[in-house]
Amino acid sequence: MNLSHKADYALRAVCNLSKLPKGKRSSIRLISQEASIPREFLAKVLKDLAASGILVSAKGVQGGFCLKRPAHKISYLDVIEAMNGPLHLSLCTESGECSCYSVDDHCYMHQFWVAQEKVFRNALSKRHFGIKR
Amino acid sequence: MNLSHKADYALRAVCNLSKLPKGKRSSIRLISQEASIPREFLAKVLKDLAASGILVSAKGVQGGFCLKRPAHKISYLDVIEAMNGPLHLSLCTESGECSCYSVDDHCYMHQFWVAQEKVFRNALSKRHFGIKR
């Protein structure tokens, strides 16, 4: 029960980029080193973050990666869903309708997971980058 | 970001067994069918649930599986941790001390994950089986 490694690394990468001075860019080498992310894995994560419009990359001597919008406008949920698609805590809620129980046409767990997802999604969507706490 | 399939199936299996009349046992075939769990996977899950003391199995004609203690004394957290070990939402809290950021000796995310884990763990530990809601 945890974040996928991909989402975990994506959060670290965005957190790292959120500390860059305005107008600066960073490199895969530097992000990997500073945020403790395996370099091969990081390349894939950065590619997906760029595809999702969370960061931009530029080639050339002055190239590198930076966030596309201000860090305080990027939520943890934005980053997690950019990596893994819509957030779901259990199979029970993932499919839209619950198929757990044929035995009595009632799933004892569904409402619990719906409620937990709501709480968790709310916390992740309210938490943004760029603020030291 | 979701439960492992193993934990998800374990919850379904325990939920299914919680509906058995007292003194009755169920079979892999029946649990698999009623709780929509692939049979091969279910066998592994039931073995681990037995090893964790959540259910008991008996061989023979009257054999099968049943819960070891009353359903209302088994929490969702018991089952999830029996499958996956201690619950952690992110790598940031999994290792005990955070190794995310060498750049400024401060992890911006650690306290958030610690708090989220606490909330989620609390909800899972207070939620028990055997009660229709």
**Could you give the dihedral angle defined by the CA atoms of residues B132, B14, B71 and A87, in that order, rounded to the nearest 10 degrees?**
-60
Chain-chain contact of A88 with B119 (C-beta, under 8 angstroms): no
Q: CA torsion sign, B123 to A82 to A36 to A90?
A: positive
Of B2, B76, B90, the CB nearest to A88: B2
Q: CA torsion sign, A14 to A43 to B94 to A109?
A: positive
Distance (Å, rounded) from C-alpha A92 to C-alpha B83?
Answer: 17
Domains contained in chain A, CATH given: 5-126 (1.10.10.10)
Q: What is the ipTM of this complex?
A: 0.86
A-chain CB neighbours of B133 within 8 Å are: 108, 111-112
Looking at the complex, does the CB of residue A120 fall below 8 Å from at least one CB of chain B? yes
pLDDT by 10s per residue, chain A, length 133? 567 889 999 999 999 999 899 889 999 999 999 888 999 999 999 999 999 999 999 988 888 999 999 999 999 999 999 999 998 888 878 776 665 555 556 677 888 998 999 999 999 999 999 876 6
pLDDT at A3: 78
Q: Tens of pLDDT along B32-79?
A: 998 889 999 999 999 999 999 999 999 888 889 999 999 999 999 999
